[in-house]
Structure 1
């Protein structure tokens, strides 16, 4: 399956929000009334640390802002990709507040003009990888490369049952098949900012919470929700897909 295009990604994100489907265990599945809004309030600096069961929608409602504002302040591109432990800006800081429009008379939430660069809490240079010792997820050839639009990752060739390896040490934050188009998928968190996605597998060999090592077999290649046997792979920095070929080491011929 090569169709990881913009339209699919936007429809996927919208469907997940409406259905409260969690991609990572950190996202949770609670609706608008789930949990205590007080527990999701920002601290004195307008920051909030993500806890298990949180979603951007719930965090936003607890702080009287729109979830799209939180996405913009923290340079997020997918509202369903947040992880436990992340520290997010959920209220505008002083410099941002000075440019905030007042709420309308119907009681709508004020939208904020934001300087993304100054408000980003955990911006990391995309050309760095926090000294993570990276490897490759499979020995298969790359069929489709990252282009930032139609393809948000790499598609690898292979044979059904080929091992799929974790590209670095980390912890499994998702293992399942609840996302249409990704089939049997594993997500591994490698640091506070880096995670990787392994999709379309025939079988998963890890579960949520498992600690994994670089080179460990975490799945078997397959064709679930795909038109052929393949591995769809992403590297994500602060939940945003980045080109894996700029992150992974040079491949030995």
Structure 2
């Protein structure tokens, strides 16, 4: 009887044959990046994108405490707060094409939720990372999937 399941009984099911997989977004990475994007701050990248490691879904860029953090692209502030563990104060911007950019380890936040921002506009200042160094955690996501930030901002800094 297929409608009767007993405690301890082993169930065997077959996976559906027509499962659709969501493609992972894997854009081209270039030195120039994509039009409309720029680097969020000056500094040196000390941790590269490596989604297989904890905290590796973005870049860690070191600089000086209090230096300007700027919007990498035009967008709307979707989140400002400290509710995401490991990133201190954080800002998340929502851009076109279901892309988000996130900025963590911030000191002074200069924007509020639902505010429109322009690429290059100062949104915060650099704070201190969990390793006690001035740094910015910067990551990008498309449709909820982590994407290498270099795909958008390029490997050659442009401010």
**What is the aligned partner in structure 2 of residue 198 from structure 1?**
103
**What is the aligned partner in structure 2 of residue 115 from structure 1?**
19
TM-score relative to the length of structure 2: 0.77
* TM superposition shift of 1:104: 7.6
Tell me if 1:142 matches 2:45: yes
Give the Cα separation in 2 of the matches to 1:227 and 1:115: 46
Higher relative contact order (CA 8 A, sep 6+): 2
SS at match of 1:234: strand
1:126/1:203 Cα in 2 relative to 1: closer, same or farther (>3 Å)? same
Higher relative helix content: 1
* TM superposition shift of 1:249: 2.8
Give the Cα separation in 2 of the matches to 1:171 and 1:185: 14
Q: Residues 183 and 226 of structure 1 are in contact (CA less than 8 Å); yes or no, is this contact kept in structure 2?
A: no
SS at match of 2:83: coil
Q: Deviations over 1:4-60 (max 9, x none)?
A: xxxxxxxxxxxxxxxxxxxxxxxxxxxxxxxxxxxxxxxxxxxxxxxxxxxxxxxxx
Give the Cα separation in 2 of the matches to 1:126 and 1:193: 15
Query: Residues 31-180 of structure 1: matches in 2 within 5 Å?
Result: 105=5, 113=16, 115-117=19-21, 120=22, 125-127=25-27, 133-150=36-53, 151-180=56-85
Tell me if 1:222 matches 2:135: no
* TM superposition shift of 1:228: 1.5
SS at match of 1:164: strand
Give the Cα separation in 1 of the matches to 2:68 and 2:3: 54
Q: Residues 154 and 244 of structure 1 are in contact (CA less than 8 Å); yes or no, is this contact kept in structure 2?
A: yes
1:226/1:189 Cα in 2 relative to 1: closer, same or farther (>3 Å)? farther
In angstroms, what is the RMSD of aligned CA positions? 2.9
1:208/1:105 Cα in 2 relative to 1: closer, same or farther (>3 Å)? farther
Give the Cα separation in 1 of the matches to 2:97 and 2:38: 19
1:115/1:163 Cα in 2 relative to 1: closer, same or farther (>3 Å)? same
SS at match of 1:230: strand
Give the Cα separation in 2 of the matches to 1:105 and 1:157: 58
User: What is the number of residues matched between the two proteins?
Assistant: 144
Unaligned regions of 5+ residues in structure 2, if any? Answer: 7-12, 29-33
Q: Residues 181 and 226 of structure 1 are in contact (CA less than 8 Å); yes or no, is this contact kept in structure 2?
A: no
